[in-house]
Structure 1
Amino acid sequence: MLALAVGIWIPGVIGTVAAALLPWCGLALLALAVCALVRARRVLLVLIAPALVWMLAIAPSAPGLAAPGLAAVGADPTASFEIVSQNVRAHSGGAAASAAEIAASGADVIALTELDEGSLAAARDTLAADYPHTYAIGTVAVWSRFPILEAEALSLGLDWKRALRVVVAAPHADVAVYVMHAASVRPGVQEERDTMLTGIADAVAADQGDAIVVVGDFNAASADPALGAIRSQLDWVRPTDGSLGFTWPSTVPLTRIDHVFVRGLDVLASTTMRAGTSDHLATVTTLATTTR
């Protein structure tokens, strides 16, 4: 337990692995506690220290609550909007289904990642009628019910584009929306992912916008030290449904690698949903802007 708690502060492979395993240590501690209650209650005293270490380590990734000002903000329904983001898994043929199900959920802004040429075309056809404002680059794309005022592709330190930034004319404020698909992590190979995560942090640090939301597939568990840079710039959106918001794999979610970060916005609700045939659950976030 101590090794994992320390591990999440160590950049690189150690931190990435420790972050993925950390939430599940809580279940191991719970199982040991139950066994101790049945067989040897004195052992419970031994578990207190590791339990405290685990709680301190998991705290930054723990579930959250809706914004304190929800009632006041919610008094004006037009002040809020919903953004849904999902990795639709390239070449799965499920992008159209994901797009249709997400649209049916009432999303105002839809961000899809890991799009191949065919899935991008399918998603475009599905969303064209209700989401007339769109921008796509590389493997990422965004659709909006609201006008898109600015759009640009981002490389985030790589030689190809796997991220974008648009400015959406959301209710009562213009919101900078970043969508990213971080490079994959493989045994011993995560330099490109770490470069992108540093790049997105640098990009939002330089952004002069009052309202910012960053969504997408970060390929990093919630406590991964590689997320430290962006956590220092924006607020990590905690799930408000009482869960840890695990998103992958969709059949039996084991970790949260799809994230949402915000600045200058109130988080009214944050949860996940199944959509299409992707191996990722979608993140569903309801945000509120302040009156201009």
Structure 2
Amino acid sequence: MRGPTEELTIAVTTNHPTRRRSSARAGRAVAAVGVILILAIACAWIPGVVGTAAAAILPWLGLVLLVLVALAVFVARRVLVVLLVPALLWVLAIAPSAPGFASSAAEGSSSITVVSQNVRAHSGGAADSAAELAASGADIVALTELDGDSLTAASETLAAEYPHSYAVGTVALWSRFPLTDAQPLTLGLDWKRALRVVVDTPDAEVAVYVMHAASVRPGQQHDRDLMLSGIADAVATDAAESVVVVGDFNAASADPALGPIRAQLDWVRPTDGTLGLTWPAALPLARIDQVFVRGADVLGSTTTRVGESDHLATVTTLAVRPAKP
């Protein structure tokens, strides 16, 4: 007859294989999800609809990776080595979209603040957006997705403080400083969804582009990609010493379609410690409203919620370098 101690010993011993099998199954599951993550992250480098979709979810793949690491620590530590590969890939993929640090203003430079927002056509919130953006002290206000009524409302709201303006189609810009050389831009399309103006700041002229890229839908990406390529070509031949491009690009920060303009201008990194996600406003999941610059130092870059739009506004403060004599 076995004693209680012997029975307990046998019970504990027979449980060990069960725990090992459970741990092995959990480890295989974590490893399998890790492989799927590797494939999903790698897609962010593939041009076209695959890269666009992967870039949109890229920040959230990092959260999935963190959950996997936590699971591996508790149930299958040996799998941690396997997770090093997706972790490294994710860091490399997200690096171009990572937050940055504010620069110091160069001696003799002056600062300007540029705000931009897609105000959502027919939302009725353009006047509120315009008023709140003006209250921020911005020098240049750029709005996109304007319908006729919202353009009128925004213009009436901004007229007193921003006497200089230019509007084309669904995009418009208001400035405290005089504007010259205003041009509508089609960027390869049959209608105008972008503009270029030269803003005469106190110390230098700044070429400012405002654009609203075509929307992306399943099977419909060509027009957006054409516009992104067109804006890159436009700034590549722009002789202005200082260039700023703002607007709704309908492309997440890591989208391969932004490669051509990234090659010409510096992508403005958020300086508030976040990824600067802008859409949808209620729970931002992606940064599709972008800012690019050349010939200016970024003193600050953040986002803010104003008006009734489904996009957050971008707020960028730049140190404009004095014009060369």
* TM-score (normalizing by structure 1): 0.96
Residue aligning to 1:87: 118
Checking the alignment, whether the CA contact within 8 Å between 1:247 and 1:280 is kept in structure 2 is yes
Q: For residue 291 of structure 2, what is the amino acid of its counterpart?
A: V
Q: For residue 242 of structure 1, what is the amino acid of its counterpart?
A: G
Inter-partner Cα distance in structure 1 for 2:243 and 2:251: 20
Residue aligning to 2:223: 192
Q: Which of 241, 244, 248 lines up with 1:210 in the alignment?
A: 241
Q: Which of 55, 58, 67 lines up with 1:19 in the alignment?
A: 55
Checking the alignment, whether the CA contact within 8 Å between 2:41 and 2:86 is kept in structure 1 is no
1:106-185 aligned within 5 A: 106-185=137-216
Deviations 1:81-100 (A, max 9, x none): 10000000000000000000
Deviation for aligned residue 1:35:
1.9
Checking the alignment, whether the CA contact within 8 Å between 1:19 and 1:222 is kept in structure 2 is yes
SS at match of 1:189: coil
Deviation for aligned residue 1:49:
1.4
Residue aligning to 1:244: 275
Residue aligning to 2:318: 287
Q: Which of 266, 291, 294 lines up with 1:235 in the alignment?
A: 266
Inter-partner Cα distance in structure 1 for 2:170 and 2:100: 31
Q: For residue 276 of structure 2, what is the amino acid of its counterpart?
A: G
Number of residue equivalences = 287
Q: Which of 248, 253, 258 lines up with 2:284 in the alignment?
A: 253
Q: For residue 57 of structure 1, what is the amino acid of its counterpart?
A: A
SS at match of 1:286: strand
Checking the alignment, whether the CA contact within 8 Å between 1:85 and 1:110 is kept in structure 2 is yes
Inter-partner Cα distance in structure 2 for 1:63 and 1:188: 32
Deviation for aligned residue 1:129:
0.4
Paired-residue identity, %: 69
Q: For residue 145 of structure 2, what is the amino acid of its counterpart?
A: E
**Is structure 2 residue 87 aligned with structure 1 residue 51?**
yes
**Is structure 2 residue 298 aligned with structure 1 residue 264?**
no
Q: For residue 196 of structure 2, what is the amino acid of its counterpart?
A: R
* RMSD, aligned CA: 1.2
Checking the alignment, whether the CA contact within 8 Å between 1:87 and 1:112 is kept in structure 2 is yes
Checking the alignment, whether the CA contact within 8 Å between 2:133 and 2:306 is kept in structure 1 is yes
Inter-partner Cα distance in structure 1 for 2:134 and 2:70: 44
SS at match of 1:220: coil
Q: For residue 91 of structure 1, what is the amino acid of its counterpart?
A: H
Deviations 1:214-240 (A, max 9, x none): 000000011111111101110111111
SS at match of 2:40: helix
Q: For residue 301 of structure 2, what is the amino acid of its counterpart?
A: S
Checking the alignment, whether the CA contact within 8 Å between 1:81 and 1:171 is kept in structure 2 is no
Residue aligning to 1:33: 69
The structure with the greater share of residues assigned to helix is 2
Deviation for aligned residue 1:165:
0.2
Deviation for aligned residue 1:2:
2.5
SS at match of 1:222: coil
Residue aligning to 2:25: none
Any gaps of 5 or more consecutive residues in structure 1? none
Deviation for aligned residue 1:171:
3.3
SS at match of 1:167: strand
Checking the alignment, whether the CA contact within 8 Å between 2:271 and 2:300 is kept in structure 1 is yes
Deviation for aligned residue 1:32:
1.2
Deviations 1:38-82 (A, max 9, x none): 333323222111101110111111111112xx1x53x76x70010
Any gaps of 5 or more consecutive residues in structure 2? 1-36
* TM-score (normalizing by structure 2): 0.86
Checking the alignment, whether the CA contact within 8 Å between 2:42 and 2:89 is kept in structure 1 is no
Inter-partner Cα distance in structure 2 for 1:290 and 1:207: 17
Q: For residue 56 of structure 2, what is the amino acid of its counterpart?
A: A
